[in-house]
Amino acid sequence: MAEKSGTNLRHGFATRAIHEGWDPADGEGALVPPVHMTSTFAFSSVEDGMAIFAREKPGYRYARSGSPTISLLEGRIASLEGAEAAVAFASGMGAITAFTWAVCQAGDRVLIDQTLYGSTFAFFNEGLGKFGVEVVHVEMSDPANVAAAMTPNTKLVYFETPANPNMRLIDIAAVAKIAHQAAPDCLVAVDNTYCTPYLQRPLDLGADAALHSVTKYLGGHGDLMAGAVAGSQALMDKVRFNGLSKFTGAVLSGLNAHLVMRGLKTLELRMDRHCSSALHLARIIAEHPAVERIYYPGLESSPYHELAKRQMRAFGGMIAFELKGGFDAGVRFMDAVELVSLAVSLGDAETLVQHPASMTHRTYSPEQRAKYGIAEGLVRLSIGLETLDDLVADVTQALDAAAR
């Protein structure tokens, strides 16, 4: 995927991830931007304070609506996504809920894909649906299903691609075109956590917002929690001053913003390694006699392979698979790993394995998991940055143990 010209895209991806928005001359020569550890900001006069609160002039007033450290991070995320603006949050769920509360109201219709991260699924079904918003599940890997479900009052179409945990892909450009033609005021929002803007930029493909659990690849080291939304300036203003400041208060700390910016400096390098190792391991897993089926878009056998080549730079660091023997075989595999850690989350330097049905996606009922393609025996691997030969050895011995 070539870099395109446009807002904040005059330099390459890695250059912007490292340099965007900061001149050491603005910080007494400090190469690394300082962390602003303050909750409030002083005004030079009452008139100055009034103008800042009225948003008639730029400036900071209270850290719930922004700070210099967080603004710098937001500018970098916006640049990487090719967006006009971004808003940072204390967690990925903070980003999702604040965005949705900001753009939806009672009487609206929301279409969500059938496969979402468990807490996202719970929010839409147990949270948003209680407040007069109609939430409709749609199998979005076929864009025709989206067209059939659209109505004039559809306000939001929301999905992940690749989907967590079963790696289904959705054609962003096709769905965005369908949604915008059917309901011009409808927003299309894509959870881009699995890909990061290095592999996929939803806004370039017609989406209105790209959301992230920054906790994952953007942070990259498993030592922070954060979230983000990127989109137009007008939309992000609504998200910041309504969704964040008034509805959720899910404010990112200055220190965590600093840690995310440290992670962004190596994002391109890390994602290249995650992707290359995952593709190598996926090919090995696919050929192992213990494996019933594997879900990874980089394999030519994947039904999503051609779509992945069109809308992704590479195929990502996430692998899902099912073993012969179902859940019991999956337990044997997960109990047998030695280098790989049994833990939820993803995008860390460490390779992680988990069981979605009993962990991240237990908010789905067994009937819903069966209907939406989350098998009871599904195992999810987040491929880390370890030496590839060591990963191959550990995964292979664990697959051998699962087959016994």
Question: Residue 270: which residues within 8 A CB-CB, separation 6 or more?
Answer: 217, 220, 349, 385
Across the beta sheet with 318-323, what order do the strands follow?
291-295, 318-323, 378-382, 352-354, 341-342
Nearest Cα neighbor of 211 from 182, 250, 183, 177 is 250
Tokens found for residue 312: 């992704």
117 belongs to the catalytic site:
yes
- Of the listed 108, 191, 204, 208, which one is catalytic? 191
Rounded to whole angstroms, the Cα distance separating 262 from 359 reads 30
CA torsion through residues 282, 283, 287, 293, sign: positive
- Of the listed 16, 109, 117, 217, which one is catalytic? 117
CB atoms within 10 A of CB 91: 20
371 belongs to the catalytic site:
no
- Of the listed 155, 168, 216, 313, which one is catalytic? 216
Rounded to whole angstroms, the Cα distance separating 250 from 92 reads 10
Tracing tokens 């199998």 back to the chain, one arrives at: 139
64 belongs to the catalytic site:
yes
Q: What is the DSSP letter of 5?
A: P
- Of the listed 61, 62, 64, 262, which one is catalytic? 64
Which residue numbers are catalytic? 64, 117, 191, 216
